[in-house]
Structure 1
Amino acid sequence: MTTVVHVAHDVAAGALGWLHANHELGAFEDDAAIADLNDPDEAYKPLCELGLASSLVLREGVAGTAEQRAASELLDFSWKQMHEGDLLYERQLRHALLTDPLETYVHYARSGLRHEALEEVLAQCSVADSMTEVLPNRRLAVANAHRVLGVHRDDDLAMMLRQTWLGRTPQPWALDWYTAYYMTHTVFHLTDWGALPGDLPPDVVEYLENWLPAWIDVWAEAEQWDLLGELLIVGACLPEPRCERAEWELFARAQHADGFLPRDSGPVDDDPRKRYHDHQHTAVVATIAGTLTLSRLFGT
């Protein structure tokens, strides 16, 4: 276990350090934060992901002093880029059917950064039950966000799980690249990123325990490092966490000395801003994977 702890710690610390050293590359250009974003995935998703990773580092409390400080600074940076919640408020107010303001806001709220007006709008959207015409795994994301925020609903997360690919426990070879990401996020949202591993039902736990090793082998051989990191997070979210040294060492060997982790085996752009935007998500994934692995192994 000690070796896994050391590898997971080094990967997470390196990835978080790289995010911290380069985070200004992800800032809105000319303060161009507007509610009517044509491409939110490109425009502000990277900032939202900084909030996610930072909030989990702070929630778990297993990182060192330097990493805790870096996470706190990244959280504050991304919150300020969101105009301290005003951007999310305006976006949700204008577009009641969108789920991304809610899914983004929850990561700040869990760290104590609240926006009263946004929460009032989110509560109204909840009463109207407007955020329903989304993919099954995203319905779980919405339900979990409401759960963390304390918005009272009668969501049946166990039933929602059965509407997803994972909840049906299909033949394990019937898993393509997109479905693999949907599967991982089903686990993330149902367990609130490893906080509630007992919410995974026994048959799904058995299914994941049986097939995670094979999926990890496949995507590691394909050098899909971003997806491999997400599968390692899934392992850390199981009731009995699955944290294999050999798999972590594979992941660690893909990491550069400065903490950079490529998303796959493709060429890496030399332009710093393009490099950051292309591979920032993998650093986020590595930070979360290492953090949750440490937390589960330490029993926090």
Structure 2
Amino acid sequence: MVTRALDWLHTHSDRGAMPPESEAALADPDGFYKPLGELALAASLVLREGMASASEQQAARDLLDFGWTQLGSGDLLYERQMRFPMMTDPLEMYTHFARAGYRHERLHTLVAHLGGLATHRGSEMMPNRRMAVANAARVAEVERETDWSKLIDATWLGHTPEPWMIDWMTAYCMTHTVFHATDWGADPEGLPVRVREYLAHWLPAWMDIWAEIHEWDLLAELIIVDASLPRPQCDPEIWERLAAAQHPDGLVPRDGNPVDEDPDQAYLDNRHTTIVAAIAGTLALSRHGDTVVL
């Protein structure tokens, strides 16, 4: 599944190229800019985990090179951060490349300076978003003081709430709390024991629910959460259901609705799900070794 997903992302990456003459203002950051970061995230984790074949590692490196070139080798991120010093997305985007060895000295110096300002410490954002920035700084090796326990306690998940109250958006926020606290599975002990026990108890039910209604994108994110825990326990049947939804060319649909026949629209609609499926499979292979075949 991972091999096919990576191949599809690699084959169609040009469909996600930024428009010519894109500048730091980025009128539509979610259209091209953010997805480039998501591709870089997946590729950086493939390289970090070291479980991929030589061809898969090359595909991952190609995706990173593609994204870095699209961003002017980091210059666009630097210009965006200079123009909008309160924005955090340049650092968050940069960290995916930094994880794989790319570096932009001026941006690195700038985000380190901005992170030391009181205005950044007091900026208002959702708790899981604050964790995203903290993890980005940690991975990019930008020195900042971070109280991870305080950050986690401020989230929905940190309250270990009534599990039946979870909804679609809260589920996505919950998954990202785990992603950032554990740096996408690099530190399975990054969550408090009480939170890990809560997830171990309720993740199977949540995965079953969203698999039943064919919410493949959210299901793949929940599988990443499982793979980020000290003792992953994802039922093989869940994997089989997700793998059965994957198309022969590698595309993983976001839900149970028909995939658009237009290749460009199909890429835009299903790129994210294919990315998270590749990440989920990569982390599961790393955690389970050769005991599973994805």
TM-score by length of 2: 0.95
- Give distance in 2, aligned partners of 1:224 and 1:204: 24
TM-fit CA distance, 1:66: 1.2
Picking from 15, 20, 24, the partner of 1:25 is 15
Structure 1 unaligned regions, length at least 5? 1-10
The yes-or-no answer on 1:230 pairing with 2:221 is yes
- Give distance in 2, aligned partners of 1:26 and 1:93: 25
Q: Is the 8 A contact 1:33 1:81 kept in 2?
A: no
The yes-or-no answer on 1:209 pairing with 2:200 is yes
Q: Which moved more, 1:37-46 or 1:162-171?
A: 37-46
Matched residue, 1:156: 147
TM-fit CA distance, 1:142: 0.5
Pairs within 5 Å for 1:41-80: 41-80=30-69
Q: Which moved more, 1:42-51 or 1:110-119?
A: 42-51
- Give distance in 2, aligned partners of 1:129 and 1:18: 44
Matched residue, 1:119: 108
CA deviation map 1:81-134 (0-9, x unaligned): 011101111111111111111111001011111000101110111011444311
Say if 1:129 and 1:105 are closer, same or farther in 2 by CA, change over 3 A: farther
Matched residue, 1:95: 84
Q: Is the 8 A contact 2:17 2:32 kept in 1?
A: no
Say if 1:129 and 1:254 are closer, same or farther in 2 by CA, change over 3 A: farther
Matched residue, 1:14: 4
Q: Is the 8 A contact 1:243 1:293 kept in 2?
A: no
TM-fit CA distance, 1:244: 2.2
CA deviation map 1:111-161 (0-9, x unaligned): 111000101110111011444311100100111111112222221011100
Query: What SS is found at the alignment partner of 2:234?
Result: coil
Q: Is the 8 A contact 1:37 1:43 kept in 2?
A: no
For 1:216, give the aligned amino acid.
Answer: M
Query: What SS is found at the alignment partner of 2:255?
Result: coil
Picking from 259, 268, 287, the partner of 2:278 is 287
- Give distance in 2, aligned partners of 1:298 and 1:202: 24
RMSD over aligned CA atoms reads 1.2
- Give distance in 2, aligned partners of 1:298 and 1:167: 30
For 2:155, give the aligned amino acid.
Answer: T
- Give distance in 2, aligned partners of 1:56 and 1:205: 22
CA deviation map 1:272-299 (0-9, x unaligned): 1111011100111011000000111139
Query: What SS is found at the alignment partner of 1:151?
Result: coil
Give the number of equivalent residue pairs. 288
For 1:84, give the aligned amino acid.
Answer: S
Matched residue, 2:254: 263
The yes-or-no answer on 1:273 pairing with 2:264 is yes
TM-fit CA distance, 1:44: 1.0
**Percent of pairs with identical residues:** 56
Matched residue, 1:193: 184
TM-fit CA distance, 1:33: 2.2
CA deviation map 1:185-234 (0-9, x unaligned): 00000000000011111110110011001100110111000000000000
